[in-house]
Chain A
Amino acid sequence: DVKVTQSSRYLVKRTGEKVFLECVQDMDHENMFWYRQDPGLGLRLIYFSYDVKMKEKGDIPEGYSVSREKKERFSLILESASTNQTSMYLCASGGKRGQPQHFGDGTRLSIL
Chain B
Amino acid sequence: GENVEQHPSTLSVQEGDSAVIKCTYSDSASNYFPWYKQELGKRPQLIIDIRSNVGEKKDQRIAVTLNKTAKHFSLHITETQPEDSAVYFCAATLLTGFQKLVFGTGTRLLVSP
| Residues of A that sit less than 8 Å from B by CB | 30-31, 33, 40-45, 48, 50, 56, 58, 90, 94, 96, 98, 100-106
| Residue from B98, B104, B106 within 8 A of A50 (CB atoms) | B98
The yes or no answer to B61 lying at the interface (CB within 8 A) is: no
B25 interfacial contact with A, CB 8 Å? no
Nearest CB on A from B28, distance (A): 19
Interface pick from B11-19, B42-50, B68-76 = B42-50
Are A105 and B42 within 8 A (Cβ)? yes
Interface size on B, residues (CB 8 A): 23
A44 to B46, CA, bound (A): 17
- Smallest Cβ distance from B102 to chain A, in angstroms? 8
**Contacts of B43 on A, CB cut-off 8 Å?**
90, 103-106
Instruction: Name 11 A/B residue pairs within 8 A (Cβ), A-sorted.
Output: A30-B97, A33-B100, A42-B105, A43-B44, A43-B103, A58-B100, A94-B99, A96-B97, A101-B101, A103-B45, A104-B43
Given A31-B98, A48-B98, A56-B98: A40 touches B105 (CB 8 Å cut-off): yes
Say yes or no: A50 contacts B97, CB within 8 Å.
yes
Nearest first, the 7 closest Cβ-Cβ pairs linking A and B are A42-B105, A103-B43, A43-B103, A42-B103, A96-B97, A103-B44, A100-B46
